[in-house]
Amino acid sequence: MYLTKEEERILDGELGNIKAKAMRILATLGDIFNADKLIPIQSTQISGISYKTIGDAGMNFLKDWSDASVVVESRMNPAGMDLENWKQMGVPKEFAKKQLRIVNALTSMGVKKSCTCAPYEAGLVPERGTHIAWSESSAVSFANSVLGAMTNREGGPSALSASLIGKTPNYGYHLVENRLGEIKFKVNFDLNDLDFSLLGYHIGKIAQNRIPVIEGIKKANREQLKSLGAGAAASGGVGMFMVKHITSEYSERDNIEVLNVHQSDLENIVNQFANCSSYDVIAFGCPHSSFKEIKQIIDNVKTTKEIWICTAREIKERALKELKLIPKNIKILADTCMVVAPVKEIGIDCIATNSTKCAHYSQNLSRIKTLLKSKEDLLNET
Amino acid sequence: MRLKGDMIVPGNVKGITVISLDPISFLGDIDPETGIIVAEKHSLKGESIKNKIFVFSTGKGSTVGSYVLYQLYKNGCSPAGIVNKEAEAIVAVGAIISEIPMIHHVEITKIPHNKEVILNADDGFIEFE
């Protein structure tokens, strides 16, 4: 990959050892993925924030890099706890101590302490056609597919490197010619809210890291597309999807494979994640809820079961201010989510959710039991 | 014998080879405290990569693997060098942040196991008798 003279000087250490390593990461990834050059980016979103996922290894790395400063707008993915109300969550003290070290290291680099997997709900909305370097898989999918911004599926260190340099290698989804559907799914039945998450999970498993195009969906709102994208990014490596007549970008390669989706495909996923009958907590907000969704949950809740709604801190603060009557069984948690929080240590054995992404990681990462239901069913259960 | 490759991380080191033809996930496959291969089904289970020239086809698994390589380095248990058939992002990033000399695009099946080699990443080759 071609480096400018200025970039080469950074690689040689002109701006210090850490920026030299950051530049080496970008240059090496550029070489591996056949990028021609580095391109400027508008923002980054950095994953690998929770102590639960990165452990002492990641914590020590971030502490060692904390003297360097970011040069573009940079945000964090969710941490392992609500940074203010972790005691009420039941998070162990030792975990909290290490989690705060991670967040403090990033904050001192200039990364904003807005810990969310959905920065686009919390004021960071990249414009169509702009280049960004985001790493949370559901945010990557939403940014590429719904917002029309351009990002690859970055890892934590590569997104951080992009933050420090302000650039990313030009390959993959940054190139218009690569933003083409590679496998087609036909849907010929109506979808409810949960179905969008199930459909995403189903197509992700098959598409893996190809771009799926979906035909036959009559209408879909922003929340539904968000669920679809998160599901597809969790079961496969889908970084971008297209829905005919709905997403603004819709174009496909010639002679692509076409598959029909059956209702039974979606039922199979519900069954795959149905491994308990009673549950400790209902989890909403995977990906993080918008203000609108929180209001809708509070307006319609009938169950007295404990409910977690995970969201960005900005949205939690707005909800606490504007939504006066929040039932006692509803906990609005900021900065974190049920995927990256130490749920097992908190004492949760089974989680009920409307998100296939939440169910997937609860089972495979947190090793707890799951139940998948629609939001309506969960809110009405007694 | 000298086998050519492309530099990922510069440096020149000498060491004994450990060869894995299977892909490696640093998260889960290697104990970050000791550098010992702990993957259940791996043919090299129980062998250490500490101070060795670790030769394997490619990386796989969680991106946290980059940090595990860094943890090995901090604990003094990282490999002296890495040789891949085809580098991918996780191991490449881990080797860069841990300053472990690394090359790729090498015909690794020609490299003998448990033998002293010279890894010259600057000039992109591995050499052995």
Q: Residue B71: which of A21, A29, A56 has the nearest Cβ?
A: A56
pLDDT at A382: 72
Packing angle, helices A51-64 and A93-109, rounded to 10: 40
ipTM for this model: 0.82
CA gap A121, A289 in Å, rounded: 8
Q: Residue A32: which of B67, B74, B89 has the nearest Cβ?
A: B89
pLDDT at A252: 95
pLDDT at A4: 98
Mind telling me how many Å the CA of B67 is from chain A's nearest CA?
5
Find the Cα–Cα–Cα–Cα dihedral B77, B91, A205, A81, rounded to 10°: 60
Which CATH code is given to the segment(s) B2-127? 3.50.30.10
Does B63 score more than 80 pLDDT?
no
pLDDT at B62: 76
pLDDT at A328: 95
Give the torsion sign (CA, A53, A59, A60, A63).
positive
Assess A155–B contact: CB distance below 8 Å, yes or no. yes
Any idea where the domains of chain B sit in the sequence?
A: 2-127
Q: What is the pTM of this model?
A: 0.92
Tokens representing A154 are 């970055």
Helix extents (H) in A12-92: 17-32, 51-64, 86-89
Chain B residues close to A58, C-beta within 8 Å:
64, 67
For chain A positions 39-78, those within 8 Å of chain B (CB to CB) are: 47-48, 53-58, 60-61
Q: Residue A157: which of B32, B87, B97 has the nearest Cβ?
A: B97
Chain B residues close to A140, C-beta within 8 Å:
none
pLDDT band at B60 (very low <50, low <70, confident <90, very high): confident
Does B107 score more than 90 pLDDT?
yes
pLDDT at B92: 94
Q: Where are the beta strands (DSSP E) in chain A?
A: 38-40, 43-46, 73-76, 112-115, 133-134, 167-169, 181-187, 212-215, 242-243, 252-261, 281-289, 307-311, 330-334, 350-353, 369-372
Which residue in chain A is spatially nearest to B103 when comparing CA positions?
Answer: A28
Helix (H) or strand (E) holding B56: strand B53-56
Assess A250–B contact: CB distance below 8 Å, yes or no. no
Assess B91–A contact: CB distance below 8 Å, yes or no. no
Classify burial at A347, counting beta carbons within 10 Å of its beta carbon; exposed 0-12, middle 13-18, buried 19 or more. exposed
pLDDT at A166: 98
Which residue in chain A is spatially nearest to B31 when comparing CA positions?
Answer: A57
Chain B residues close to A25, C-beta within 8 Å:
92-93, 96-97
8 Å CB contact of A29 and B92: yes
Chain A residues close to B8, C-beta within 8 Å:
28
Q: Residue A58: which of B64, B89, B92 has the nearest Cβ?
A: B64
8 Å CB contact of B97 and A55: no
Question: How confident is the prediction along chain A (382 residues), in pLDDT tens digits per residue?
Answer: 999 999 999 999 999 999 999 999 999 999 989 999 999 999 999 999 999 999 999 999 999 999 999 999 999 999 999 999 999 999 999 999 999 999 999 999 999 999 999 999 999 999 999 999 999 999 999 999 999 999 999 999 999 999 999 999 999 999 999 999 999 999 999 999 999 999 999 999 999 989 999 999 999 999 999 999 999 999 988 999 999 999 989 999 999 999 999 999 999 999 999 999 899 999 999 999 999 999 999 999 999 999 999 999 999 999 999 998 899 999 999 999 999 999 999 999 999 999 999 999 999 889 999 999 999 999 998 7
Catalytic residue among B25, B43, B62, B98: B62
Assess B93–A contact: CB distance below 8 Å, yes or no. yes
Tell me, yes or no, if B78 is annotated catalytic.
Answer: no
Mean pLDDT of B81-99: 94
Assess A109–B contact: CB distance below 8 Å, yes or no. no
Which structural domains are found in chain A, ordered by start?
A: 5-176 (3.30.499), 180-262 (no CATH), 273-379 (3.30.499.10)
pLDDT at A138: 95
